[in-house]
Amino acid sequence: MEVLRDKGLVYEGELERPKSLDPHDEWEPVELTLFRSSQFGDDQDRPMKKSDGSWTYFGADAAYHFQKAQNADHLVNIWGADHAGTVKRVQAAVNALTDGRVDLDVKLIQMVRLFRAGEPVKMSKRSGSFVTLADVVREVGKDVVRFIMLTRRADAPLDFDFAKVVEASKDNPVFYVQYAHARISSLKRKAADAGVSLDTPADLNLLDEEEIALVKLAAQYPRTVEAAAMAHEPHRIAFYLYDLAAAFHALWHRGNDDPDRRFLVENNPQLSRARLELALGIGQVIRSGLALMGVTATEEMR
């Protein structure tokens, strides 16, 4: 408070009559301790203390963020969408308290709706009927919850269906990505049986156009991570991993009808070594991306 008062940003004053108040209703202005948040992009000045001298929520928020800003040059808050109205005032306080040195980025998170086989899970505060995040994790596992939660932008609502998030199909992104990694792990285990040695140098010139296209997609990983970090949008990594897994699965399925297009080709160790190197590189990217999301890279699918 003293920091703001020394800067002339706190004063004793009265708020304007609320516009939402009926003209016929009585209004008695009260002197409050106000912060000049209107100088920093807010709609009006905001009270930091109530008429009884106790702190407002905004006053406590300003003190909290001032403390956090002492050892930071950028702050990120994750709030529910119902707090949208307080964004400007808190950003204004951080701006004033740090002389513009620290930026506050507020991510407003939309609601998650739970479904079971397409039917919404009914919850009620009044009856005490609700599902906690711990309940969801216990039922489907932390990997599923983390990955699915990160497949949406922060400002987009999410429908979480207990049945769909555990089904083994390409429509389930966490399964599809983990399945790609499991397939790659199986290739590594089968390499020795196919007469392919990892000690042998891989000649990537043997790869065809579709395989080179997958190499180029994998090469976009560092840029994708950087863009996700700069924009504070981790869903970009989830989308990228799904696209990478889909491209890998497409190459895998080529071998269903033509044995010469499999990753491990019988009696052709050089081509097999090149394709194995490609697969191992994709596996490394998938492991790295999943690790950033806190999700396990599965070696085998049950």
Quick: pLDDT tens for 169-200: 888 999 999 999 999 999 988 887 777 888 88
Q: Is residue 298 part of a domain?
A: no
Which are the contacts of 232, defined by CB distance < 8 A and separation ≥ 6? 76, 105, 107
pLDDT, tens only, 55-67: 888 889 988 998 9
pLDDT at residue 275, rounded to an integer: 95
Asked whether residue 126 falls in the same domain as residue 101, the answer is no
Asked whether residue 38 falls in the same domain as residue 67, the answer is yes
Q: Is residue 31 part of a domain?
A: yes
Instruction: Answer whether residue 34 shows pLDDT above 90.
Output: no
Q: Mean pLDDT across the stretch 121-148?
A: 85
Q: Is residue 234 part of a domain?
A: yes
Asked whether residue 237 falls in the same domain as residue 284, the answer is yes
Residue 27: pLDDT band by 50, 70, 90 thresholds?
Answer: low
Q: Is residue 150 part of a domain?
A: yes
CA distance 268 to 279: 16
Asked whether residue 117 falls in the same domain as residue 96, the answer is no
User: Considering its fold, how many domains does the chain have in total?
Assistant: 3
What is the tally of helices (H) and strands (E) in the chain? 10, 8
Q: Percent of the chain having pLDDT more than 90? A: 44
pLDDT at residue 273, rounded to an integer: 94
Q: Is residue 299 part of a domain?
A: no
Q: Is residue 300 part of a domain?
A: no
Q: Which amino acid is at 299?
A: E
Q: What pTM value is reported for the model?
A: 0.81
Q: Percent of the chain having pLDDT more than 70? A: 93
Q: Which has the minimum average pLDDT: 32-36, 178-182, 219-223, 259-263?
A: 32-36
Q: Is residue 121 part of a domain?
A: yes
Final residue in a domain of this structure, among 61, 82, 109: 109
Q: Is residue 86 part of a domain?
A: yes
Asked whether residue 200 falls in the same domain as residue 258, the answer is yes
Question: Could you list the residue range(s) of the whole structural domain that residue 136 is in?
Answer: 112-165
Answer positive or negative: Cα dihedral of 194, 198, 201, 207: positive
Asked whether residue 172 falls in the same domain as residue 139, the answer is no
CA distance 297 to 163: 21
Final residue in a domain of this structure, among 121, 139, 165: 165
Asked whether residue 88 falls in the same domain as residue 121, the answer is no
